């Protein structure tokens, strides 16, 4: 009869893996890809180095995996926040609120996505390109829907979406490096909303 691990054993392994990955996000965000080591990660997660190699063959594989998961987490949070709303202004407010909430309360996630992978490894390029494309496409869908309903002026939705993606990321990056990001969050959200409405030519409908 082949060996099968018990549900308790599997749960324990999943917990170790989750703990290690959460610690890795913090380590990569703080030190950057090149400076961070596997020993830093196992020390931060309080697991044996053998545990690391049980799940991942090397630091590069772990980093790309973390990047993909954090990218999906952020995009899903923004999409879900905007989904119930049809008004362009309210969509902007909900999506940016979700983005800022993650930035303030999970800054390592944003740090990893925006700067942690700079110059990391060629294997990350595909993941980075995919994330930027999906982020731009998300904003483009919102913009084009607003154009169809006459809420904003006619424009190149793709270019406006690219502007949204770049501008919002820059503001968020400055927010998480501020000494008091939580205290600046409301102002940042309002300023991003006003920028977005102006940039898209919101008609007020």
Confidence of residue 1 (pLDDT cuts 50, 70, 90): very low
**88-102, 115-129, 146-160: which has the minimum mean pLDDT?**
115-129
Domain containing 130 equals 59-200
Quick check: is 38 in a domain?
no
In a domain, 50, yes or no: no
Residue 15 lies in a domain: no
Whether 165 is covered by a domain: the verdict is: yes
Q: Which of 85, 91, 104, 101 has its CA nearest to residue 164?
A: 91
Count: domains in the chain: 1
DSSP string, the chain: ------HHHHHHHHHHHHHHHHHHHHHHHHH-TTT--HHHHHHHHT--HHHHHHH-SSHHHHHHHHHHHHHHHHHHHHHHHHTT--SHHHHHHHHHHHHHHHHHH-HHHHHIIIIITTT--HHHHHHHHHHHHHHHHHHHHHHHHHHHTTSB----HHHHHHHHHHHHHHHHHHHHTSS-HHHHHHHHHHHHHHHHHHHHTB---
pLDDT at 3: 44
Share of the chain above pLDDT 90, in %: 73
Confidence band, pLDDT 50/70/90 cuts, at residue 119: low
Residue 180 located in a structural domain? yes
Ranges 8-12, 48-52, 157-161: which has the least confidence: 8-12
pLDDT in the model for residue 114: 87
* Whole-angstrom distance, CA of residue 199 vs CA of residue 153: 10
Which CATH number does the domain housing residue 169 bear?
1.10.357.10
């Amino acid at each position: 009869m082949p060996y099968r691990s018990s549900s308790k054993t599997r749960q324990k392994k999943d917990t170790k893996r989750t703990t290690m990955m959460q610690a890795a996000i913090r380590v990569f965000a703080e030190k950057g890809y090149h400076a961070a080591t596997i020993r830093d990660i196992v020390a931060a997660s309080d697991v044996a180095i053998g545990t690391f190699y049980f799940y991942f063959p090397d630091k590069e594989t772990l980093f790309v995996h973390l990047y993909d998961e954090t990218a999906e987490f952020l995009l899903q949070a923004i999409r879900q926040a905007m989904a119930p709303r049809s008004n362009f202004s309210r969509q902007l407010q909900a999506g940016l609120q979700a983005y800022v909430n993650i930035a303030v309360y999970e800054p390592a996630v944003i740090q990893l996505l925006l700067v942690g992978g700079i110059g990391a490894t060629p294997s990350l390029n595909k993941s980075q390109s995919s994330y930027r494309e999906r982020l731009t496409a998300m904003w483009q869908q919102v913009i084009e829907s607003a154009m169809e309903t006459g809420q904003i002026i006619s424009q190149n939705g793709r270019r406006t979406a690219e502007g949204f993606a770049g501008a919002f990321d820059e503001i968020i990056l400055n927010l998480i490096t501020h000494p008091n990001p939580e205290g600046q969050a409301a102002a940042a959200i309002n300023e991003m909303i006003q920028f977005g409405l102006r940039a898209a030519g919101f008609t007020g409908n």
